[in-house]
Structure 1
């Protein structure tokens, strides 16, 4: 079965989607107050020291990111294990797994001595992972050209956001990288049919991500509920690593569902 794209309606939807995202971003920046990085951001429920390692559990719970990121990157570049059919997808997924591996180092480095200077190394790898993930999703749903455009534009915005945060002590731009994927991925999934099977894994991954954010917010309450064994922030790390695990399962099991006109399957 071939899905024939109607050029002008699709372009119109893309324009409306991009314009809507820009309007939402401008509105968010205008109506919300500045969100500075206060010392309270660096205080976590569980900061115990085991064997001379500060905030031990918050540090070691980042290790799974390294395993999943490196393994995913190797399998992605290997070319036959994952069902990746377009060159644009290879770039996006490879950068996603590289970002996940970098999260292990950046977050561990930050939790060893939480402060403003180290905080950017905690956020930047995750922002890169979000950017490349959204690019891969866009390539699948909307086409390689617009997906790769999003990749380079959003990477630029990610670095600008970090510079803005350090210059003006304002977290709003960085926060957008956590909010936007949760909104845009379900929206794009509703507007554009999937090219591959097993697309439900995208929604499962989004649900796991939202649950991880709940654990972070309930950091102290979870720490108390577990009788001070593990905190919500440490559980957030372990929960977040399930996002690339679920997406890796999707890449393993999926297959072409709706070939698009003019889009030939080519192995990178």
Structure 2
């Protein structure tokens, strides 16, 4: 009876957090101005330097860490014995996450070689899929396998919808607000839902690194001017985002199971 009561409370907390996240997304969509896809400023970055014939060199080359971490993480997920992953739902989520990160390295580099509307989708879609799979893996760990996998399907659909919406309605708000999900939801759910594994603080560290990366991206020109044109805020955004991914990889390597949930053992949420 006590376990049933606790389970009901846990389900109520999960539903409240998900509903709250959805309402926050609606508020952002209704009360923020439209962000045009084909705006000239959208594709203008502070650092336009060309080294060795590579346009926008640093914005292109700073995607290389994503390729290394993405390929390494994907191989380790496929190997099955390197990362401390206990459920199939987690394996699917993390494998898709690292595959998306590796794809993002190519897509973002391709976009930054010649930034325009047509290439932007190759920069945006892989990272939205990475966010979807990452948040799904987090939900599998904190809320149960069925909950996490159900959200993965939903979030992947929203990712595709966001990119399609941006192209059809010339508005990037869906894509931009979707990228806020990790920064907002993960810290809240970390506080409300108990961790299944040790080293759960790495979730918060990675979220903090990602939040710093987004700030660096917004301050692209200011950072570039402040450091005497050595590196731009956008290039630093790439590097800091890669650090966030690296922190999650370290977490998977060193964590261990704190407790088994009854739903995990029986195959039910």
Q: What range describes the TM-score normalised by the shorter chain of this pair? A: over 0.9
With the length of structure 2 as denominator, give the TM-score of the two structures.
0.94
Cα distance in 2 for partners of 1:249, 1:131 equals 20
Distance 2:131 2:142 in 1: 16
Larger displacement relative to structure 2 (67-76 or 171-180): 171-180
Give the distance between the partners of 2:184 and 2:117, measured in 1 at CA.
28
Q: Matched residue pairs, number?
A: 264
Which residue of structure 2 aligns with residue 251 of structure 1? 252
**What stretches of structure 2 of length at least 5 have no aligned partner?**
none
Matching residue of 1:239: 240
Give the C-alpha shift of residue 8 in structure 1. 2.2
Question: Helix, strand or coil for the counterpart of 1:114?
Answer: coil
Q: Match for residue 80 of structure 1? A: 81
Q: 1:139·1:147 contact (CA, 8 Å) conserved in 2? A: yes
Listed one character per residue, the Cα deviations across residues 134-188 of structure 1 (whole Å, up to 9, x for unaligned) are 0000000000000001101000010000000000011111011211211100111
Cα gap change, 1:226 to 1:27, in 2 (>3 Å): closer
Q: Secondary structure at the match of 2:205?
A: helix
Deviation (angstroms), 1:57: 0.9
Q: What residue in structure 2 maps to residue 13 of structure 1?
A: 13
- Tell me, in whole angstroms, the C-alpha distance in 2 between the residues paired with 1:194 and 1:265: 19
Specify every segment of 5 or more residues in structure 1 that has no aligned partner in the other structure, as ranges.
none
Larger RCO (CA under 8 A, 6+ residues apart)? 1
Deviation at 1:58, TM superposition (A): 0.7
CA contact (8 A) 2:202 2:251 kept: yes
The whole-number CA distance in structure 2 between the counterparts of 1:95 and 1:201 is 20
Tell me, yes or no, if the aligned pair for 1:198 and 1:254 is still in contact at 8 Å. Answer: yes
Deviation at 1:252, TM superposition (A): 0.6
In structure 2, the residue matched to 1:166 is 167
The Cα of 1:264 is off from its aligned counterpart by: 3.2
What residue is the counterpart of 2:153 in the other structure? 152
Q: Tell me if the contact between 1:4 and 1:260 (Cα under 8 Å) persists in the aligned partners.
A: no
Q: Determine the structure 1 residue equivalent to 2:103.
A: 102
- Over 3 Å counting, the alpha-carbon distance change for 1:215 and 1:85 in structure 2 is same
The CA RMSD over aligned residues, in Å, is: 1.7
TM-score by length of 1: 0.94
1:23 corresponding residue in structure 2: 23
Q: Tell me the CA shift for residue 265 of structure 1.
A: 10
- Structure 1 window deviating more from structure 2 (229-238 vs 156-165): it is 229-238
Q: Does the 8 A contact of 2:34 with 2:173 survive in 1?
A: yes
Deviations 1:89-134 (A, max 9, x none): 0000001001110111110010010011111111111111111000
